[in-house]
Chain A
Amino acid sequence: MAIDVRRAAVFHGPDAPSDDDLATCVHCGLCLNYCPTYRVTGLETESPRGRLYLMTQWTRGGLPFTRDLARHLDLCLGCRTCEAVCPSGVPYGRIIEHGRAELERVRKVDAKRTTATIVMRQVLKHPGRLRTLGALMRLAQAAGLTSLSAQGRQLPKLSEPFKPPAGNVARALGPTRFKVAFLTGCVMPILYARSHEASVQLLQVAGCEVHFPAAQRCCGALFAHNGDLKSARGLREHNERVFASDDYDFLVVNSAGCSSHLKDFYDGVGERTRDLFEFLAEVGLPPPRHEVRARVTYQDPCHLAHAQRIKRQPRELLSSVPGVELVEMPHADICCGSAGLYSALEPEMSRRILDEKMDSVLSVAPEQVVTANPGCQMQLEAGLKSRGRTDIPVRHAAELIAEAYF
């Protein structure tokens, strides 16, 4: 069982986690109880502190690399809850993304992950192929083919994809206060067209002239989260040019994973990026026109609550709608187990986490569940379906708020 401590570092590529970042962990353990995988397993190897310790060994040459050890990084959701509670300010999100980039470099082929990477590279990067895929999926659903596989059953019922208005501009309702760009994103227009429509409506109500730059592509967040930093960089550079081409006051994003990625990595554009609810709370909405009677619970998307520390704004906006009864579920800000591709790559752990989440959701007996990220929405829908509660719809919070105006 002897370990050669002088063995060369495993993590040494250009994208390896920085030693300065790793050094900020003081091993206090305050992150443990906030980590979804630690909560369900009770294992410190599946905790942020444990993962940081392993990455530290790999970076400083303490331990050799093994496939089993890679599991511990693979099982991290990347939800960054630990980052929000860390008293030492460990930049966990950045560390794990770089850790994963190194992992992809050193590990042998893993069929599932390779397939995921190929699909990401071949489809997400190309808006045309995405649209075609969406159309094919709709046909498949109509023919009942998707119910043949577990993954297929997880997909929401697809309707017509979101299309920007003519001229790629939506005018403000009332006087124009802001000129904003809207990130249409990769999968959102296909999976959840209604989320986009409602978000744009709210922006118009708030006095925004909303632009949809046609050349924009996937923001690259999914690539970065899964260790493909090279593709993420390519998409970032492309989009930076696209969004810098006009004098937008803000770039508004209604998907938490994307807004977080833009803020963290996009030069120039990042500072002008706002999450939809952050923006609406900042600029204000006119008084609601209609009552919306509903008992609602809100699931915090991790990349909103933890990566961007935005928890208050969506709740305030929801509560401001007359008739809405907002009920807090226990641990609303703990991950639902979706985490981008995680639910497909680590289905078992994802299910265990989702199971706890469903207990929390159902404990407050909501009529609707709202959130602000497509991945969470899909996961929560799958969870409610597995409990036979398809009577409880899961929606983007913007859809519910928009009902107060239209």
Chain B
Amino acid sequence: MGLGPRTLEKLRRAVGRDHVVWDAYDLVIFERDASITGALPDAIVYPANAEEVAAVLEIAAEQQLPVVPRGAGTGLSGGAVTLHGGLALSLARFRRIIEIDPKGRTALVEPGVVNYDLGLEAARHGLFYAPDPSSQKACTIGGNAAENSGGPHCLYYGVTTNHILGMEVVLSDGSVHWVGGEDPDQPGLDLLGVLVGSEGTLAVITKLRVKLLPTPEAVSTLMAAFPSIESASKAVSDVIGHGIVPAALEMMDKVTIGAVEAHYKAGYPTSAGAVLLVEVDGLTESARELTAAIEQILEMDEAFEIRVAEDPAERELLWAGRKGAIGALGHIKPNYYLHDGVVPRTRLPEVLREVGRIGEHYRLPVANVFHAGDGNLHPNILFDLREKGIMKKVEKAGEEMLRACIDAGGTLSGEHGIGLEKNAFMPWIFGPDDLAAMQAVKDVLDPSGRLNPGKIFPPAGQIEPKLIARSGVASEARWW
């Protein structure tokens, strides 16, 4: 049992000598993803194809080792953190776009392909891949599928699961399977739907067939400034209430606007209490009509300034503010804890008020920048990691904000996943029967529970989350 020299030798034979790393110092870099939790793996393996992944999983099965798949490590819920040690299975060598089928409008890709790179390649054929997480320039298609990632444009186009047609996966016993196929509508049980969003707890993805869409003929982006969060929230509900579903509908609050304007000069009025960014796309005619209709609704809802981007450069600038918002907040405090909760659109104002109150209570600055169209909140708690005892406060505030979402009839996560960030809160929204049903699925696909253990399902006992501490390393990681 465990990871002795003989197991390491087997792993090296399976994936090549250079592709197994266990030097304690290399492991440190793998103790974290982009979340604020961490724990060390025992070794990192870098397989290059499904056969090697299968071999690694077989060895892990023999030795009863946990296995945690990892893409670019940009996840925000601790999905790639090796909570119980074992093997970190990096998919960094799966970087090939195997095929783009411009006629069938699909692509066959390896899981380590970066979301943005797929977009670039698709653009050469007049196509695009719709899910666009804010980390799209680094995150991978495999990771997106594992977390069922969203993004600003998922309001109209749907989240990742709507864009995956089929996947090659390896189960924990080392068997390789194809689920789904070339077409969106497959007969039989929707196993693909089960696997997308399973956060690496059911299978390791080794290939994906994804849907590509034709690049829209016209795109129109407008910025609208409102006196308050309330008036902007009402406008969001009204736009969607009129039966208009824009491609994207994003909101930024006063704190965010201030930070963005100080660094990007995107042209958001600093006197505004909230700014909305609305984008519509489609045929030139319909985009124009929709923009006019939206403008009218926003004006009725107290928008005091509306600017429609005149050219691609102006559109880029409007978006630069939104996409760079989180980084701009780094100038207020060096660290942030980006939370992810969902509320019914109509309850946005009251929940945002509560979020503000919680921040004040803990004396932590909070900035909101989020996908308003889906009611997908992203409160950013800003802090300095080096402040003593700060992590406990940050964690507590985050939990209360999430509770406020649930109390308003919302849910735990819009797009970041549950991971080990929120698994303890799963009983807030699922009863024992629901959780037992999910566990039954897990038991069929991963009977020994070695694939990404400690994620999604609530921990049996009270386990302290392994938050990063002052030194920047996980405070309670196994090795120490």
Contacts and interface: CB of A to CB of B under 8 A. Distances in A.
Do chains A and B stick together as partners? yes
Contact of A44 (B30, B336, B385): B30
A62 interface: yes
B32 A27 contact: yes
B443 interface: no
B471 A26 contact: no
B392 interface: no
Contact of A69 (B25, B33, B326, B470): B25
Contact of A28 (B24, B25, B74, B324): B74
Interface in A25-81: 26-34, 42-45, 49-50, 53-54, 56-57, 60-63, 66, 68-69
Given A29-B72, A42-B90, A87 B25 contact: no
A89 B259 CA distance: 13
Contacts of A87: 323-324, 326-328, 330
Most buried by B among A2, A53, A57, A87: A87
Nearest to B331: A89
Interface residues of A, number: 39
B480 A26 contact: no
A50 B26 CA distance: 9
A62 B328 CA distance: 28
Interface in B423-480: 470-473, 479-480
Nearest to B473: A62
Nearest to B92: A42
* Most-contacted residue by chain B among A24, A29, A56 (CB, 10 A): A29
B17 interface: no
A149 B116 CA distance: 42
Contacts of A118: none
Given A44-B30, A88-B330, A26 B112 contact: no
A67 to B, nearest CB: 11
Contact of B471 (A31, A32, A61, A66): A61
Contacts of A29: 33-34, 72-74, 135, 138-139
A5 interface: yes
B270 interface: no
Contacts of B137: 30, 33-34, 85
A86 interface: yes
A308 to B, nearest CB: 17
B429 to A, nearest CB: 28
Contact of A26 (B25, B28, B114, B335): B335
Nearest to B324: A87
Contacts of B28: 53-54, 57, 62-63
Contacts of B23: 68
A63 B479 CA distance: 13
B473 A1 contact: no
Contacts of B479: 1-3
A49 B138 CA distance: 12
Contact of A32 (B72, B336, B470, B472): B72
Contacts of B92: 42-44
**Residue among B93, B138, B384 with most chain A CB within 10 A:** B138
Given A29-B73, A30-B138, A63-B25, A56 B472 contact: yes
Given A29-B33, A33-B117, A44 B25 contact: no
A283 interface: no
B146 to A, nearest CB: 15
Given A42-B90, A62-B472, A30 B386 contact: no
B193 to A, nearest CB: 28
B334 interface: yes
Nearest to A51: B29
B46 interface: yes
B95 interface: yes
Nearest to B337: A26
A345 interface: no
A237 B447 CA distance: 68
A271 interface: no
A53 B26 contact: no
Contacts of B334: 20, 23-24, 26, 88
Interface in B300-352: 323-324, 326-328, 330-331, 334-336
Instruction: Indicate the member of B92, B327, B384 with the most A CB atoms within 10 Å.
Output: B327
Contacts of B26: 45
Contacts of A42: 46, 90, 92-93, 95, 112
Interface residues of B, number: 46
Contacts of B33: 27, 29
Given A57-B473, A69-B25, A89 B327 contact: yes
Given A1-B479, A33-B114, A68-B25, A28 B135 contact: yes
B360 to A, nearest CB: 23
A42 B110 CA distance: 14
B29 A54 contact: yes
B33 to A, nearest CB: 7
A20 B336 CA distance: 15
Interface string B110-139: 001010110000000000000000010111
B34 A1 contact: no
A43 B93 CA distance: 9
A39 to B, nearest CB: 9
A54 B34 CA distance: 16
Nearest to A24: B334
Nearest to B94: A42
B385 A23 contact: yes
B327 A86 contact: yes
A50 B32 CA distance: 10
Contacts of B116: 33
A329 to B, nearest CB: 13
A19 interface: yes
Nearest to B116: A33
Contact of A5 (B73, B95, B336, B471): B471
Nearest to A64: B25
Contacts of B72: 29, 32-33
A3 B477 CA distance: 12
Nearest to A88: B330
A32 B34 CA distance: 12
B34 A28 contact: yes
Contacts of B326: 28, 87
Nearest to B36: A27
B479 to A, nearest CB: 6
A69 B25 CA distance: 8
User: When A and B form their complex, which 3 residue pairs have the shortest distance between CB atoms, in order from nearest?
Assistant: A87-B327, A42-B92, A88-B330
Interface of A: 1-3, 5, 19-20, 23-24, 26-34, 42-45, 49-50, 53-54, 56-57, 60-63, 66, 68-69, 85-89
Interface of B: 23-26, 28-30, 32-34, 46, 72-74, 90, 92-93, 95, 112, 114, 116-117, 135, 137-139, 263, 323-324, 326-328, 330-331, 334-336, 384-386, 470-473, 479-480
14 contacts: A1-B479, A19-B386, A23-B384, A24-B330, A32-B73, A42-B46, A42-B112, A43-B46, A49-B29, A53-B29, A54-B29, A87-B324, A89-B327, A89-B331
